[in-house]
């Protein structure tokens, strides 16, 4: 047969990493180390207390009673989304067991274009197939989305839990306020609990008094993980790899790298997956500690890309300008706003795009500082010099360049 004959000829090195069976030479279940994978309870490490606390707040919803809304703060990769999704999933199962109809939905506000878009996502998720109500992607007002969400809730559900992730990415807290106070205002009869998540503890300062009061004292702060916890998290996903394909030193090292500075489980997980991919793509027998060092820069760039995703594309140009300034001036870290605007305009010229106004760039710099990608300070100058603002990158300039060029 022709395909058999084909095996007698020289193998094409292009497909060296594909085994004859079509299987993966390194990974057994690669999905276990992907970021979006929702691990089962036995793989969740060190967040039992937080899971219990969130469940206590929103718990009444499983019996159709009014739940409390909660706010979760914590740095990126500290397990906030994981805990919220896990509690939602278990609430849904328990409500079903108690024969109550519980609506659960999740929206990541960093990927939503605004309040209406986030609402559309929530509406779409809870809308049962037998419903005559629709949630088109565009063409209806924010108000109309609210009305349709209320209609679906009142027609089909006993209670609802909505998770709004990265809530600080929305321009205002209207969505949070309306959803968390809907019962009080009489907009809807079905009780709603909101789990709001933010990377920014100072987001509280941006919330209106009314929103703050509907979250009462239900605020939880998730601390970053230490190296031991990260190691345990990764150890629990070891079976992502085939037997004997993961070197003993890889997990401890990935945990140590993840714990350094950030305590970020996402970063540690990404390092492990990238190292596996690197080993596979380079025909290595197994994943080794050295492979982590090869992929470290890409993992960092990816983390930064995550942080700035959802911000206007010119944010990248501003960052790129600041990175270029930092690289060109070896000893210098701080740059005045006017210097950054000049550098940004040079980037725009190179990219062949029109530059934004100076005021807009000042705004983008504020957003970057809010995300802790940059920091700023006011300088009061000397006699005869007015005060001015200076900014510095909190990330390595090389990482920023990598992100910008998508290497």
Ligand X SMILES: Nc1ncnc2c1ncn2[C@@H]1O[C@H](COP(=O)(O)OP(=O)(O)OP(=O)(O)O)[C@@H](O)[C@H]1O
**Residue of this chain nearest to ligand X (CB atom):** 79
In the complex with ligand X, the residue whose CB is nearer, 45 or 322, is: 45
315 interacts with ligand X by CB under 6 A = no
For position 43 contacting ligand X by CB under 6 A, the verdict is yes
313-328 and 397-405 are packed helices; what angle lies between their axes, rounded to 10 degrees? 140
Check the annotation: does 80 bind a ligand.
yes
Q: What is the dihedral of CA 155, 157, 158, 162, to 10 degrees?
A: -130
Interacting span for ligand X (CB under 6 A) from 4-12, 69-77, 207-215, 395-403 = 69-77
According to CB under 6 A, which one of 44, 188, 259, 361 is a site residue for ligand X? 44
DSSP label of 1: -
Sequential DSSP letters for 140-160:
S-HHHHHHHHHHHHHHH-SEE
Q: What count of other Cβ atoms lies within 10 Å of the Cβ of residue 4?
A: 7
Alpha helices (H) in 236-357, listed in sequence order: 250-259, 265-281, 289-308, 313-328, 337-351
The footprint of ligand X on residues 210-239 (CB under 6 A) is: 233
Return the residues of window 244-273 that contact ligand X according to CB under 6 A: 265-266, 269
Q: Is 216 left (phi over 0), alpha (psi -120 to 50) or beta?
A: left
Residue 204 is assigned to a ligand binding site? no
Range 96-107 burial, b when 16+ CB lie within 10 A, else e: eeeebbbbbbbb
66 binding ligand X? (CB under 6 A): no
74 interacts with ligand X by CB under 6 A: yes
Degrees, nearest 5: CA angle 316-370-323: 35
Longest Cα–Cα distance in the chain: 89
Q: Smaller CB distance to ligand X: residue 174 or 226?
A: 226
- 79 marked as binding residue: yes
Closer residue to ligand X (CB): 76 or 355: 76
Cβ distance to ligand X smaller for residue 70 or 82:
82
Q: Binder to ligand X among 25, 39, 60, 183 (CB under 6 A)?
A: 39
237 is in an annotated binding site: yes
199 contributes a contact to ligand X by CB under 6 A: yes
Task: Confirm or deny that 381 is annotated as ligand binding.
Answer: no
Closer to ligand X by Cβ: residue 86 or 389:
86
Q: Is 196 in the site for ligand X (CB under 6 A)?
A: no
Helix segments in 98-126, DSSP class H: 115-126
225 is in an annotated binding site: yes
Residue-level length of the chain:
407
Q: Which of 24, 25, 30, 46 binds ligand X (CB under 6 A)?
A: 46
Alpha carbon of residue 60 to chain centroid: 28
Residue with Cβ nearer ligand X (44 or 192): 44
- 45 contributes a contact to ligand X by CB under 6 A: yes
Distances (CA, A) of 360 to 216, 312, 344: 35, 11, 12
Is residue 208 part of an annotated ligand binding site?
no
3-state SS assignment for residue 163: strand
Stretch that binds ligand X, among 45-53, 62-70, 120-128, 342-350 (CB under 6 A): 45-53
Binding to ligand X (CB under 6 A): which residues in 80-99? 80-82
Return residues touching ligand X (CB under 6 A): 35, 39, 43-47, 74, 76-82, 199, 233, 265-266, 269
Binding-site positions read 78-82, 225, 237
């Amino acid at each position: 047969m022709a395909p058999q004959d084909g095996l007698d000829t020289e193998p094409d090195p292009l497909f060296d990493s594909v085994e004859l069976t079509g299987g993966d030479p390194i990974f057994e279940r690669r999905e276990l180390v992907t970021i979006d994978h929702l691990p089962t309870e036995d793989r969740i490490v060190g967040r039992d207390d937080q899971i219990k606390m969130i469940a206590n707040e929103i718990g009444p919803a499983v019996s159709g009673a009014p739940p409390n809304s909660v706010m979760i703060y914590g740095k990126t990769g500290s397990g906030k989304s994981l805990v919220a999704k896990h509690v939602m999933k278990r609430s849904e199962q328990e409500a079903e067991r108690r024969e109550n109809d519980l609506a659960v939905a999740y929206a990541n506000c960093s990927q939503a274009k605004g309040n209406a878009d986030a609402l559309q996502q929530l509406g779409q998720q809870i809308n049962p197939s037998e419903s005559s109500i629709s949630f088109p992607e565009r063409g209806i007002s924010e108000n109309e989305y609210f009305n349709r969400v209320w209609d679906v809730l009142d027609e089909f559900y006993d209670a609802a839990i909505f998770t709004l992730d990265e809530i600080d990415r929305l321009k205002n807290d209207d969505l949070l306020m309306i959803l968390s106070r809907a019962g009080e205002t009489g907009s809807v009869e079905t009780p709603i609990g909101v789990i709001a998540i933010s990377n920014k503890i100072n987001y509280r300062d941006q919330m209106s008094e009314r929103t703050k009061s509907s979250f009462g004292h239900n605020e939880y702060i998730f601390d970053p993980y230490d190296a031991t916890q990260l190691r345990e998290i990764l150890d629990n996903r070891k079976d992502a790899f085939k037997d004997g394909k993961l070197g003993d030193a890889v997990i401890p090292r990935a945990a140590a790298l993840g714990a350094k500075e950030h305590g970020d489980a996402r970063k540690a997980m990404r390092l492990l997956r990238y190292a596996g991919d690197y080993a596979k793509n380079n025909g290595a027998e197994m994943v080794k500690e050295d492979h982590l060092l090869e992929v470290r820069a890409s993992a960092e760039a990816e983390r930064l890309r995550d942080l700035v995703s959802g911000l206007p594309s010119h944010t990248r140009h501003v960052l790129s300008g600041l990175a270029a300034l930092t690289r060109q001036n070896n000893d210098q870290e701080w740059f005045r706003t006017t210097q950054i605007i000049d550098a940004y305009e040079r980037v725009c010229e190179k990219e062949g795009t029109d530059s934004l106004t100076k005021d807009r760039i000042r705004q983008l710099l504020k957003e970057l500082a809010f995300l802790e990608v940059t920091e700023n300070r006011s300088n009061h100058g000397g006699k005869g010099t007015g005060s001015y603002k200076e900014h510095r990158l909190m990330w390595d300039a090389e990482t920023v360049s990598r992100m910008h060029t998508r290497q």
